[in-house]
Structure 1
Amino acid sequence: MSDGDDDALAAVVEKPRAEVATEQLRAEGVYDDRRKVREYGPESVALPVTTAPADTDVLEVVVQTDPELRGTTLPDLLAERGWTDAEIERAPGSWAVIGSVVLVTLEDCPREAELGDALLELHGEADTVLAHEGVDGERREPDGRVIAGDPSTETIHTEHGTRYALDLRDVMFSPGNKAERARMADVIAGEAGPTVETDREGPERVFDMFAGIGYFTLPMARAGAEVTAAEINPTAYRYLIENAVLNDVQDRVEAYRADCRDVEVSGADRVVMGYYDAHEYLDDAVAAAASGGVLHVHEATPEAELWDRPVGRIEAAADRAGRGVEIEGKRKVKSHSEGVWHVVVDARVA
């Protein structure tokens, strides 16, 4: 790379935000895995990016005059195995390491076994490569198959101090939601908004309507909240219970294996709706929220309908209940598919 090359851009962030900012930059599609992260003064780091980020908060964007490349890359390892340039072009450009499992989407990638071996060589901490092939049904059950390494896909994944036990062949886990999981802990700790505005004293009361294995339940409980968690998938529910114990928050998590609409909750300070079709459950969420409580509503929204569709759905649900609502935050979490964004809207219910 030459001095001033656009490929040598870096986004400067505070050190405590480096992990979350990296995930946000990955979700935005601008993080550059080819270069190393560099210190930028005593309290910040420079994260390599391919272009200036549009959705991630950074202190500044700088040009690195002496960028430092990482070591061996996946294309290098595939070339050593005799892959042609055309075959390497068809190899995945991104993947995630979740505990001891490399999770990768193959699409039309050739020579799957060789790709899996190369990924295991690249990530010495991993034991298994699992090809992700989508999620099915209301219970959000993943499809996947092992293409290299240990056939076991059960693991323990740790992020921001929260430990998640799971089997990636049985339950879903979205690496791109990492920053949002961290944010939900921060709102409970009072380090991010919106704050709750209820008169009740004591720990915040949270209703997690689609708890899964504890994606949001666990970090929020670890931050001090009391969480009522509903999960309809029996396998995910089993891991939810196990993970509450694993993180020593079992006394702050009340879990139900049930459709969230069948769990009676009222006066919740926060209602978390971490499901793309959460709008179908908005009437129940509004009913569960305390006056001054906050809904955190997830949706997969076409670019052309940002932010009218998700906000309109929330306002309509509040209107049906005869309650007011104020939109306090709108966030893009990650790209869901071509032209569609996974978003979160924070809405305060009167």
Structure 2
Amino acid sequence: MSDGSRNRSDRRSPRRPAAALLLAVATALLPAGTARAADGDGGFTIEDSRITESSGLAASRAHPGVYWTHNDQDGPRLFAVDGRTGKTVATVTLRGVGTPRDMEAVSVGADGDVYVGDIGDNLDGSWDHVWIYRFREPERLADQTVTATQYTVKYADGPRNAEALMVHPKTGRVYIASKNEDGGGLYEGPAKLSAGGVNTFRRIGEVPWVTDGAFSPDGRELVLRSYFSARAYEWKDGRLGTDRPVSAPFQRQSESVTYTLDGSTLLFGSEGSGSRVAAVRVERPGGDAAATGKPSGGAAADSRGTGDDGKGGSLTVGALVLAGIAALWFGARRSRGRRRSG
């Protein structure tokens, strides 16, 4: 089927209602101290009413302080959002690509190009290929239409659902992390993407449930986030190294993560109208702030369970609530799956 013949009716798959209910209940049960920590100073609130499903986030290289985001179930367009005000300063529409199915991730490469991952598959592997769209960051921020290149992507071990696409800031290589309740995989693309054929991504590592990821600007670390947590992996010779927990806010629909351009802060985004992008200072192992870091106002509690409001233990209680509900939900899903296959 040609790209032009794709339509919205065959790509829209409903969000799992159980997952949405889980997240809503878990958020409601979190202690008030955790909510205040997630909405502390730093970060910004997305003001554009058109952005209701912010599924990816990436710091612009050409325009410091500006962040690219997009809806997942939308036409081929991206929004450039000013990190100081939360207001959209440009809407960029892509031509030369088909109708997106499920755009889930965005990353900016060292080459100055923006990479968009149309890689979501809520039916867990129903599509035998997905797409990456690539375009040059505009020199001028204004509403405009740009020509993009479309790449066809397949996985060496078969179709899968994914929400994280990362471009390494030094090598320019593209990576995708798949999403699975029993654990996903990290996939490496070819050294150079080809628009003329299929780009096969091969599994190079095991990762947990992932909703987004980002390389640090120096390329030495990869952060992967999920609905309930985040981890940072040392990046050595193109492979995952030692990992550690990263302080991350609890959000209603935890969807995105990116570094600020200077690498001092991580920004965590969520879906929903008027969603908050929370800022978290980057810390070294052992608790020291990053050498280039500046206090961001502490948008999340630290890993010991003390929020920025000083009330210890609230984050720990919230984490236990979330973990308990998640375990029950995933257990019920597996039980239903066994009954269907029996």
Q: Do the structures match in fold with TM over 0.5?
A: no
* Rg larger in structure: 1
When normalised by structure 2's length, the TM-score is: 0.29
Greater helix fraction, Structure 1 or Structure 2: 1
When normalised by structure 1's length, the TM-score is: 0.29
